[in-house]
Structure 1
Amino acid sequence: MHSHPSNLPWPAIRIASGLIVVVAAMATFSMWWPSLSRWVDATLASQRGADTSDHAEADAHAGHDDDAASLVLSPQAQRNLGLSDEFLRPIELSDYRRSITVPAIIVPKPGRSSIIVSSPLNGVVTHVHAVTGEAVMPGDLLFEVRLTYEDLVETQTAYLKTMSEIAVEDREIERLEEVTRSGAVSGKLLLERRYAKEKLEAFAKSQREALRMHGLSDRQVQEIGENGKLLHNLKIVAPDVDTHEHDDELQLTQISTRQVSFAQPAPTTSQPASDLGVNHDPLVIDDLRIHKGQAITAGETLCALSDYSQLFIEGKAFENDAAAISNATQQGWRVDAVLSNTSPREVVRDLKLVFVSNSIDPQSRTLSLFVELPNEVIRDETNRDGQRFLAWKYRVGQRLELRVPVEQWEQQIVLPVDAVVESGADWFVFLQNGRNFTRVPVHVRYRGQNSVVIANDGSIYPGDVVAMKSAHRMQMAITNQSGGAVDPHAGHNH
């Protein structure tokens, strides 16, 4: 009796079906294997092509990133960016002083910049040898005055009379000495004449002191007694700021002077003061108050002279900066001055901080500090009349800024602020290699108004040549270069 297939168990059925499929596949192998093999090969080839394309795309993008981090600048482009040799120089380690900026103004130097010339005696002006704005040297003749000071005239007259009486007594004493030796006259008369002479000499001494109080020197008083002539003409000359050689005596009739104008032929072209053999700083007549024929009194101001060779810069710092400024003074740190009204802005470096005020202005609550400012002549011309005119580089009242150092860091990489550019969280400088400028990330330790301090961490080294300006414009060029390029993969599918 035969059993029905439907009575077989399920595992046996699955095994039997698998054997039938294997036998059938083996029987028809030549029919389906070539097609399956070609399909597998095509699939693998397609997968390898996709992988290669992805790597190539990544490499291409990497190449674009490298190109975007550098610029190739022609010599013309470098000049357009202002990258001259001055702004393409090797990095050097230097000491950096963190500074504060305070507003300031140029002021006269007390006791030096302004000189008042006044008349020592009463008189009438007979000659004026100077004009407003003219530059004069110490010892140059400014004015001539005919004296009308009665006290001086009377004192000179009394002194001349006394000196004449002393001369008479000398002759009488000499005569009495001869007759006394012969016994014709007693010695008492000779002794009386000697006493009289001593009284006259004491009186003459007091008169000489009175003349000295009027301004005459010992030499001038001696000349009055020797020559027997009164001094009636006064010559007023320009004083010397540093010495007193012209202040020891009045410049009167017998004293030789040189006139301010018409003294000698002068060059008509502009020459610096050093080429003209100037040994003293010239003085400028700023305020001329008299004219010929004017009657003047003792102590009256005749003119004002100004010495602009040495000036002060007065800075106004906040009260809370007093300690830092005092420390800068103690350390002897130099100060820089920035003239904001020049283009480009001029920086006067290494100026001496002279002193800091001991009081704070009650209104503005600011502290004054004073810095020395040596001045220089930028124009020196003499006209055909022999009158000399100067133009100084720095002027009283000119406004500027002072950079006062308050902290010092030693051996730092210090660059101008225009040498770095910020992009997101990164700061970059541009390293030069021929015509190629590579953007290099750096760590900025400190950024001031005019300088930045770069960490010496190996990103750049001393001796590397970097662009000291135009970093922002170069960064814009890189951004335009990377953003404006055509995508080579646009419109393609992989």
Structure 2
Amino acid sequence: MKSSRFTGSIVGFLLIGAVAAGAFFTREQWLPLVQSEAAPIESEVEPSPVEEPKVLKLSAQARKNLSLIAKPVVPQTYWRKIQVPGEVVDRPGRSDRGVTSPAVGVISQVHAFPGETVRPGDKLFTVQLFSEYLQNTQKELFSASKEIQLIQEQLDRLGPLAESGGIAGTKIIDLNNQLRRQEALIQSHRQDLLTRGLSPSQIQSITEGKFISTVEVVAPPPFQASKASSEIQQTAFQSDSGNLSGIAYEVQDLRAELGQQVQAGQLLSTLSDHSSLYVEGHAFKREAPYLENAAQLGWSIHVEFAEDVKEHWPPLQQEFQIRYISNAIDTESRTFDFFIPLQNQARAYQKDDETFVVWRFRPGQRVRLHVPVEELTNVIVLPSGAVVREGPEAFVFQQNGSLFNRIPVHVLHEDRVNTVIANDGSITPGLFFAQSSAASLNRILKSQAASGMRADVHVHADGTVHAAH
């Protein structure tokens, strides 16, 4: 009995093996039939395409949280610009004024110190004169003045005698020639002393025999700008105590100390007048054609000052234009410079009976220059935050109440502040569009679509969005 069961099991395994072997060797005949029957089943379970979301809905609170503002858009003209770094620098020949010693001497008194404000004619130093040349000039001036008095007395005494024939007329002619020579000599001595820093009243005292042993070094007169450069105006200083109008210098540094012996022409101090400065831009050679065109055509340059608090100062009422372009390239940075005149602003305050000045723009302050290069007409201009990108696509959001419709647009130009969009019919002028938070709106739109939330809206042919009705 057991042997028959064992034999049946072996036969069953052999039959199964034979069927499997037959199926394997004949798979080319029956396998295509099985695959063709299974294909319709797979197609039945294929998921349907998901429609891309275009409209989202935001509550009033959500719009406030995003600080979302919508404004109507209109076609306009826009200047494409390039950004160039720069800084505020001193204007050579105007910003700094050196003060020198008029003669050899010793500094006996210092009247102005660094940080203080002085005006033209204010005392800076008192110099005790040690100049032998200056002493001789004073002596010769006094001698010439006395000689003129003696000659004039002779002319007064001998004039009547010459008219009556008592003396020869040549004597009067000779005295007149001497008088003219002495007058010329006095005039040259006066001019020499004026250039040495002496005042007309001091020179008059010398002619009376009162020699000058000290000389006052004063602040120089203001720079006289020509009519061709009249765009540079002097700063008006204001303080709480009243108006302080006119030019003023700030003592930048002292080059001489009390008791120091100085030579004629030696630098004593440096005065700063920051009312007239330059904005110096640093551009690469490839940007030279744009700058040359802007300088030649007189296009206005927008200057963005770093660390400038506009609320604390009056508005800038000046137009920035390129004055000249440097023809040298820096060997290290490989850039060339161009310069724009800048009118500075200042305030003054009083402390310890001294006047101090605070300037709005200071040398070394960083700036960003926006140079126009191309005029784009009939375009839509939106803030950069109003446009969001997804790969090659760019989108803006049109608002209609609490609904926002995402619209694809063609971007012509964009920078750090603005984005220029082609007026090709994708945007309807006059409709309201979000001015910021486009990236946030796009994320909210995708989040609402992923959660299955529908805005329950439809879009009209004119592009407006409305709730279903």
Q: 1:438 to 1:242 in 2, by over 3 A?
A: farther
Shift of 1:149: 2.3
Q: Does 1:80 align with 2:55?
A: no
Q: 1:272 to 1:359 in 2, by over 3 A?
A: same
**1: CA distance, partners of 2:413 / 2:181:** 85
Match of 2:84 among 97, 102, 116: 102
1:38-69: CA deviation from partner (whole Å, max 9, x where unpaired) = xxxxxxxxxxxxxxxxxxxx9xx98x94xx61
- Report the 3-state secondary structure (helix = DSSP H, G, I; strand = E; otherwise coil) of the residue aligned with 2:150: helix
Shift of 1:164: 0.8
Which residue is equivalent to 2:119? 137
Does the 8 Å contact 2:202/2:212 carry over to 1? no
Does the 8 Å contact 1:94/1:411 carry over to 2? yes
Which residue is equivalent to 1:399? 366
**2: CA distance, partners of 1:82 / 1:288:** 54
- Report the 3-state secondary structure (helix = DSSP H, G, I; strand = E; otherwise coil) of the residue aligned with 2:323: strand
TM-score (norm 2): 0.72
**2: CA distance, partners of 1:194 / 1:272:** 58
Shift of 1:272: 4.4
Which residue is equivalent to 2:148? 166
**1: CA distance, partners of 2:165 / 2:324:** 80
Does the 8 Å contact 1:319/1:366 carry over to 2? yes
Which residue is equivalent to 2:329? 360
Does the 8 Å contact 2:121/2:221 carry over to 1? yes
Q: 1:114 to 1:207 in 2, by over 3 A?
A: closer
In structure 2, the gaps of 5 or more residues are 1-47, 226-236, 311-315, 455-469
Q: Does 1:429 align with 2:412?
A: no
Which residue is equivalent to 1:204? 186
In structure 1, the gaps of 5 or more residues are 1-57, 245-270, 488-494
Q: Does 1:291 align with 2:257?
A: yes
- Report the 3-state secondary structure (helix = DSSP H, G, I; strand = E; otherwise coil) of the residue aligned with 1:70: strand
Does the 8 Å contact 1:138/1:280 carry over to 2? no
Q: For the pair shown, which has the larger CA radius of gyration, 1 or 2?
A: 1
Aligned residue pair count: 390
Q: Read off the aligned partner of 2:224 and give its amino acid letter.
A: T
Q: Does 1:122 align with 2:104?
A: yes
Q: Does 1:374 align with 2:360?
A: no
**2: CA distance, partners of 1:80 / 1:285:** 52
**2: CA distance, partners of 1:110 / 1:208:** 32
Q: 1:214 to 1:462 in 2, by over 3 A?
A: same
Match of 1:319 among 276, 285, 299: 285
Q: Read off the aligned partner of 1:72 and give its amino acid letter.
A: L
- Cα root mean square deviation, aligned: 3.5
Q: 1:381 to 1:422 in 2, by over 3 A?
A: same
**1: CA distance, partners of 2:290 / 2:173:** 79
Identity %: 35
Shift of 1:486: 6.1
Shift of 1:417: 1.2
Q: Does 1:301 align with 2:267?
A: yes
Which residue is equivalent to 2:379? 412
Q: Does 1:331 align with 2:313?
A: no
Does the 8 Å contact 1:139/1:238 carry over to 2? yes
Q: Does 1:454 align with 2:421?
A: yes
Shift of 1:168: 1.3
Which residue is equivalent to 2:215? 234
Does the 8 Å contact 1:160/1:224 carry over to 2? no
Does the 8 Å contact 1:163/1:225 carry over to 2? no
Does the 8 Å contact 1:113/1:311 carry over to 2? yes
Shift of 1:156: 1.4
Which residue is equivalent to 1:254? none
1:405-458: CA deviation from partner (whole Å, max 9, x where unpaired) = 222212321122111112354322233444544433322222234321111123
- Report the 3-state secondary structure (helix = DSSP H, G, I; strand = E; otherwise coil) of the residue aligned with 2:369: strand
Shift of 1:174: 0.8
Does the 8 Å contact 1:112/1:241 carry over to 2? no
Does the 8 Å contact 2:56/2:448 carry over to 1? no
Q: Does 1:150 align with 2:109?
A: no
- Report the 3-state secondary structure (helix = DSSP H, G, I; strand = E; otherwise coil) of the residue aligned with 1:394: coil
**1: CA distance, partners of 2:165 / 2:397:** 116
**1: CA distance, partners of 2:433 / 2:241:** 41
Shift of 1:215: 4.9
